[in-house]
């Protein structure tokens, strides 16, 4: 049976002292996400953004870039010693020398944003020595602010949340990529679990952290900025996020592309990991991604 190798998280007791700098970073990350969300929501409603392409099936809009500039202006000014990794900023490899690094996707779910589907999000994470210690994911249309920091709990708006306690696959709701689902790639799991197509991998991970879905997984490549915030959220909410070999994901790596991930509560993880890696369809997808 596949079992995950868990991060060892520091648990705060009532007599413990919170990291004041981490608490300040969380407050500013929430503020930055909310401000960027206002930009995205305005452009989404007005439909006044420009669309360009960064490559095959990889659109970028003027809204992505505007949100990125705003988030960078807030966080980099407040924490000049932290490294920076963002989808929409040219990579500066000096981040590899920094203990703490911001990892940002100013608009995850650009395709949903362009299509008018309210399932896009801003994702902001902070990694410390490779471990995600802070996560903020914000859906501005639905006004859902997911936030966490190490030892401080995971919250949806002001309500503390945890991952679900679903134990069996047949009762599990798995949040699937809309594009993968539309291509029929999830039909192989019919009758084994309930599949719910949802946009934005960052948003899917946040929903799992809040117990709004039981799990998500993919064998297609993802970048660090797609999953860092959601990983921090799920870990703080009591769940598990690993790579396809059931090992913890390390962040702020020279190569930011990851071959896939599995995320769920810990009760469901062993059977989910076996399912995610045991079908001809998912094995074919892995070969296609490498």
CA pair distance 287, 35, nearest whole angstrom: 40
Q: Does the structure show a pLDDT above 80 at 7?
A: no
Neighbours of 46 (CB within 10 A): 8
Confidence category of residue 163, pLDDT binned at 50, 70, 90: very high
> Quick one: pLDDT at residue 275?
84
> Quick one: pLDDT at residue 67?
98
Q: Does the structure show a pLDDT above 90 at 33?
A: yes
> Quick one: pLDDT at residue 10?
41
CA pair distance 216, 88, nearest whole angstrom: 25
> Quick one: pLDDT at residue 3?
54
CA distances from 117 to 200, 220, 223 (A): 10, 22, 22
Q: List, for residues 255-280, the tens digit of each pLDDT value.
A: 999 989 999 999 999 999 888 764 33
Q: Does the structure show a pLDDT above 60 at 284?
A: no
> Quick one: pLDDT at residue 198?
94
> Quick one: pLDDT at residue 231?
98
Tokens coding 176: 């699937």
Closest CA to 234 of 254, 252, 212: 212
> Quick one: pLDDT at residue 45?
96
Strand 100-108, strand 83-86: pairing: parallel
Q: List, for residues 168-221, the tens digit of each pLDDT value.
A: 998 999 998 887 777 777 777 777 888 999 989 999 999 999 999 999 998 888
Q: Does the structure show a pLDDT above 60 at 290?
A: no
> Quick one: pLDDT at residue 4?
52
> Quick one: pLDDT at residue 114?
96
Q: List, for residues 84-99, the tens digit of each pLDDT value.
A: 999 999 999 999 999 9
- Longest Cα separation, the chain: 53
Q: Does the structure show a pLDDT above 70 at 1?
A: no
**What pTM value is reported for the model?**
0.89
Q: List, for residues 100-159, the tens digit of each pLDDT value.
A: 999 999 999 999 999 999 999 999 999 999 999 999 999 999 999 999 999 999 999 999
CA distances from 56 to 60, 96, 270 (A): 11, 28, 35
Domains of the chain, each with CATH number or no CATH? 20-160 (3.30.540.10), 169-289 (3.40.190.80)
- What are the φ and ψ backbone dihedral angles of 132, each rounded to 5 degrees? -75, 115
What number is the average pLDDT over the span 15-35?
A: 88
């Amino acid at each position: 049976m596949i079992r995950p190798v868990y991060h060892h998280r520091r648990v705060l007791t009532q007599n413990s002292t919170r990291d004041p700098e981490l608490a300040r970073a969380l407050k500013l990350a929430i503020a930055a996400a909310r401000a960027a969300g206002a930009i995205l929501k305005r452009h989404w409603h007005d439909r006044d953004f420009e669309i360009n392409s960064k490559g095959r099936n990889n659109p970028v809009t003027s809204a992505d870039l505007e949100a990125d500039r705003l988030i960078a202006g807030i966080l980099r000014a407040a924490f000049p010693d932290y490294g920076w990794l963002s989808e929409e900023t040219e990579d500066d490899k000096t981040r590899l020398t920094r203990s703490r690094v911001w990892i940002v996707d100013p608009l995850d779910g650009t395709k949903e944003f362009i299509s008018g589907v309210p399932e896009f999000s801003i994702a902001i994470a902070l990694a410390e020595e490779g471990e995600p210690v802070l996560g903020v994911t914000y859906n501005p249309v639905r006004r859902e602010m997911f936030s966490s920091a190490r030892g401080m709990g995971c919250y949806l708006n002001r309500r503390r949340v945890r991952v679900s306690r679903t134990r069996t696959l047949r009762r599990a709701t798995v949040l699937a990529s809309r594009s993968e689902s539309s291509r029929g790639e999830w039909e192989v799991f019919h009758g084994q679990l309930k599949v719910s197509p949802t946009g934005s991998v960052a948003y899917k991970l946040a929903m799992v952290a809040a117990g709004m879905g039981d799990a998500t997984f993919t064998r297609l490549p993802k970048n660090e900025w797609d999953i860092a915030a959601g990983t921090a959220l799920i870990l703080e909410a009591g769940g598990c996020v690993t790579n396809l070999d059931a090992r913890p994901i390390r962040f702020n790596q020279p190569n930011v592309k990851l071959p896939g991930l599995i995320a769920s509560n810990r009760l469901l993880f062993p059977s989910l990991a076996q399912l995610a890696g045991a079908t001809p369809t998912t094995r074919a997808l892995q070969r296609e991604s490498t």
